[in-house]
């Protein structure tokens, strides 16, 4: 293993150790909270991300290459549920909240669909109204034809 690989390994080891110090088993299954005869235990989701890198820079006058490197990590903790214990009864109560704006938008789709559908139904006449309007128009046209026919002389033809 080259010296630069050992340096990158050292960066990753330090990063991992710091993450271990920040999180332990109590991060996922939290400390129990007891009030009277009810005990609540929080349960969380923990997500980690790591990145590291390095490079050797050769110098014309240097005896050994110079090393440059770095590393980083991120951690996210989100509550997902609570375990509620009351006597012999144990329940898991999930936390239901949108974790980001995309989840929130997706959860609003059914409500928006209902509102848009209601809006179109409000502006659209009922089918029975259309039939009534058509027969009314046909009746009006027939009346006009009768009026025109009655005003014509018996020997006049329509052109």
Report whether pLDDT(61) > 50. yes
> Strand, helix or coil at 104?
helix
With bands split at pLDDT 50, 70 and 90, how would you rate the model's confidence at 144?
very low
Q: How far is CA 115 from CA 121, 123, 127, in A?
A: 10, 13, 21
Report whether pLDDT(19) > 60. yes
pTM of the model: 0.43
Report whether pLDDT(83) > 90. yes
Q: How far is CA 144 from CA 131, 139, 155, in A?
A: 20, 9, 20
């Amino acid at each position: 293993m080259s010296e630069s690989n050992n340096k990158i390994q050292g960066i990753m080891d330090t990063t991992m150790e710091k993450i271990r110090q920040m999180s332990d088993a109590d991060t996922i299954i939290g400390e129990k909270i007891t009030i009277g005869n009810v005990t609540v235990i929080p349960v969380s989701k923990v997500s980690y991300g790591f990145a590291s890198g390095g490079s050797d820079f050769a110098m014309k006058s240097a005896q050994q290459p110079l090393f440059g490197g770095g590393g980083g990590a991120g951690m996210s903790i989100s509550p997902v549920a609570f375990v509620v214990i009351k006597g012999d009864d144990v329940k898991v109560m999930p936390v239901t909240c949108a974790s980001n704006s995309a989840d929130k938008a997706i959860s609003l789709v059914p409500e928006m669909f209902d509102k848009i559908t209601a809006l179109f139904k409000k502006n659209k006449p009922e089918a029975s109204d259309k039939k009534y309007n058509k027969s009314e128009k046909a009746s009006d046209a027939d009346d006009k034809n009768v009026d025109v026919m009655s005003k014509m002389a018996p020997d006049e033809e329509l052109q």
